[in-house]
Structure 1
């Protein structure tokens, strides 16, 4: 759907106990809610709706994880907290004090689709 950089490689490394992911570099800027146009706001809403319709959740939808590429399209980056709704969970070591998270966010809790 063009909502993320091109994925080139994704493989679990048992020694590191994490996935190694290689994606294209996004040339552009981070999305900022303070200076976002109506068009970008609509793109972001449509992107989240498309993920939810596909049964996917994106648990860390914050400004650092949304880019606007050089052509003006929204691109999601940082997929650590993504997956199938009803299966994906927040990490057990999530830092709850640093960010004003939504009420249902917590260590090991399910990531849900929110309006």
Structure 2
């Protein structure tokens, strides 16, 4: 479960994204933001059991479109593929794993730069974190995978 809102700061008028999520790879998000490959993370705060163990995540708004909005399920342009590969190599260089690599979680800014916008399932290699099997099956089915052979 994840709920996301577009908001505006009262003090500066800056647009921000406010998200409530069960998990967030905070360290990976901060690392990738410093590399210019993710929006700046302003706040991450666990809200506790009274709020369903959700975390409040506040980040910079990225002016652009998701890869899904730009290309649907069509083949991605080579420059986009290379940029995504470079971003994933950055994550891997710090031993991070991104198990939820979907077009909805990647954006291209108005200036054409790639950004990872969802770090909910990113974790360190060997941390013992597991991507839930029920989500994997759900994503597989929603993406049309039910009629596709896996071998």
Which bin holds the TM-score, normalised by the shorter protein? 0.7 to 0.9
CA distance, structure 2, for counterparts of residue 72 and residue 2 of structure 1: 13
The structure that is helix-richer by fraction is 2
CA distance, structure 2, for counterparts of residue 13 and residue 91 of structure 1: 22
Match of 1:34 among 74, 77, 83: 74
Normalising by the residue count of structure 2, what TM-score does the alignment of the two structures yield? 0.59
**Aligned residue in 2 for 1:59:** 99
**Aligned residue in 1 for 2:123:** 83
CA distance, structure 1, for counterparts of residue 120 and residue 138 of structure 2: 18
Pair 90,96 (structure 1): closer, same or farther in 2 beyond 3 Å: closer
Q: CA deviation at 1:35?
A: 5.1
Q: Say what the alpha-carbon RMSD is for the aligned residues.
A: 1.9
Question: Which of the pair has more CA radius of gyration?
Answer: 2
CA distance, structure 2, for counterparts of residue 61 and residue 55 of structure 1: 16
Work out whether 1:12 is the aligned partner of 2:53.
no
Alignment: residue pair count: 100
1:24-57 C-alpha deviation (Å, 9 max, x unpaired): 1111111136253222111100000110111111
CA distance, structure 1, for counterparts of residue 124 and residue 136 of structure 2: 23
